[in-house]
Structure 1
């Protein structure tokens, strides 16, 4: 029934039958679930993601790489729609020229303009206004695109530049107390070290991170900091983009990782440190640390980061000297070409 309805273009019936296959754990149905999950005409992105996850569970190893790419494509589309949705709901840029540029409309209008970075022209302002889409329009544009078009759109430098510009207004909203939680519960003053709820019993004075599971209620995970939620979505988009392009667009990750690290350090210290260590240049880490509030916790973080960086440099110097001036006894000849 699911195959017939899918071939007839009745995606509502096909989705209903595939849901029954997934809930009943009928592993023979992974093939039709894969087909429906790949269908760009089917606009229900969460359902497509569930069907592809089911196909990944039962597919033979030869199909895994292709299925993973399809799953990443759908997840990127979901995140992209989420970013557009948050921009429309928060509407923090009403008085700003740095509107959020929709990547698809930007590509369709002629691609990137490397030479003209001015935001004062009327044409550019109109394009920025038209680029901010709602949920329906963004989902339709995403689902109508192929993987290559989606990656090309998200890889646009103008998309990343305008997206990163939206983080600071959202961060200001959180600092003004316009999030769902009190200011003290967001650790905005950075007086406590943040950690995952799983490690809460280990630290006597801590801030329980809103990233991840909460053991105080049965409610699903929810991040009440709009800047943090937006930053994590951008980071995930950047990482998926890098995966789909096989590492050819790493250049887009620097600004995103910098902004995400600044937001995450207050919530989850270990995760924030991991993001800091992703930055290749010490100046980028210094800029993130300089933006933090001046507290004992930020001083401890700065000391740890620079001690770690110094230790890494010392190890590199020692290894280089050993390679150049001496050889261990088991190596009568140099192991390096």
Structure 2
């Protein structure tokens, strides 16, 4: 892996050395592990438009069904990633597996990206009482489902846990009465069955952030260039919305109307704002209350790498450093 762009210069004292002998900078190679889902929109659009190449970054995007699965593949040394995109709750629940990564930015947030799906009559949350709800353990989908049932006072709901790629299959087979879901899983489910699929959304239950983790080996200059690409892509999506949605629809293999609805309820922005810290604190409290003891191993501020974003876009980084 090329870590630093190599510039082949010309030494003036060399005989016959001229401008034609100066080679162009070699691109920096970056590997990014992501979940193929709407929360990775900025990255996927930047990849699809060639914006990374404009910044001398040769990017390889390794897509898995979810950010959690991408993270676990990195932790298992199956992917040697410079960057990982995954949800806040998935990172906090597994942070101890990624000691060489820090949070450089958030790249997406929404309180209406997750939903509940069923193949039976589903008029409301009361129908879930005494039934089985399947989800992916310690993921955004899990947190959404757990908070939804807890806040609604629904008891006797049995949780079962599967990888996100198995949830549709488990619902179809009857192992699950309900599943927590999102795009493109919803579109995939509709395509797989010959009966009605009932999908209900519950905006406001969980404000989900997508975090961009960076490996410590990536130097600040490389990280800043990467951030610049994503920030430029924000503007591109605003100006070329239909083209961006076309890229995402093809990349995610999802329904265009459903994707458009999600993006309307979402913020696609590179940032690192102070309110993220108390939100992560509350999520860590929830994880600890559910038996995930390792979440307290590192203070939250030590999980951040906020300086490069501050250098690139000062107004997008407002984390308070109380020690300085």
Q: Classify the TM-score, shorter chain.
A: under 0.3
**TM-score computed with the length of structure 1 as normaliser:** 0.25
**TM-score computed with the length of structure 2 as normaliser:** 0.25
Whose RCO is larger (CA < 8 A, sep 6+)? 2
Specify which structure has the higher proportion of strand: 2
Specify which structure has the higher proportion of helix: 1
